Amino acid sequence: MWGANLSGTFNALRVIYKPQLCMPQLVIPDFSKLPIPLCFNKNRIKAVVLDKDNTFAKPYDDKVYAGYKVGWDRLRQCYPGAKLLIVSNTAGTTDDKDYKQAERIEKTIGVSVLRHSTKKPGCHKEVMEFFRENGICDSPKEVVVVGDRLFTDVIMANMMGSYGVWVRNGVIQNNQLVSKVEKYYYSRLLNKGYKPLDPSKNG
């Protein structure tokens, strides 16, 4: 179901014994509703991790969706430079030969793309290394992960001890089986009374 993403397959199984791993701390219908600046439990957010495909861009498109331009510009103003990081499971991975796709996205969008050897959600340590090396932040509690996938983006946020923002609808409707499974599982957790993890109470 997750293809070659062994990290996604293995780590998604973690929700069997810890369901809250796939529960976001914030749910928004689409990227235009992202609250800027971001703040959780009075924690000052210093860095934002962004998924690209179907979060702020159409799948396989390397430019920001036109309807999100105003919010995107505000986000870049609030989190300039290395405070904003794109983490993709295609661009910047070992599947991206010579990181050509990552370089193209950086040139077109103007935001750094993480080079990582492990796909989401298993690359959370590499994400924090990027922010530490660039002098942005040391604590995952100061990081927010924004994406349209519960089993990759949101699980990664919770594994990091960060805050996860789930873009529920994406740019276009996702009819893939894994997306339907994620949404069904999430609705079941809500019905059973599960609450998201609180990073401010951990560590």
Which of the two residues, 197 and 178, has the higher pLDDT score?
Answer: 197
pLDDT band at 3 (very low <50, low <70, confident <90, very high): very low
Which of the two residues, 192 and 202, has the higher pLDDT score?
Answer: 192
What does pTM read for this prediction? 0.93
Residue 5 predicted with pLDDT over 60 = no
Give the residue-averaged pLDDT of 143-169. Answer: 96
**What confidence tens digit (pLDDT) does each residue in 20-34 have?**
999 999 999 999 999
Give the residue-averaged pLDDT of 113-130. Answer: 95
**What confidence tens digit (pLDDT) does each residue in 35-82 have?**
999 999 888 899 999 999 999 999 989 999 999 999 999 999 999 999
**What percentage of the chain carries pLDDT values higher than 70?**
93
**What percentage of the chain carries pLDDT values higher than 90?**
85
pLDDT band at 90 (very low <50, low <70, confident <90, very high): very high
pLDDT band at 2 (very low <50, low <70, confident <90, very high): very low
Query: Got the DSSP string for the chain?
Result: --TT-HHHHHHHGGGGT-GGGG--SEEESSGGG--SS-EETTEEP-EEEE--BTTTB-TT--S--GGGHHHHHHHHHHS-GGGEEE--SSTTSTTSGGGHHHHHHHHHH-SEE---SS-TTTTHHHHHHHHHHTTS-S-GGGEEEEES-IIIIIHHHHHHT-EEEEESS-SS----HHHHHHHHHHHHHHHTT-----GGG--
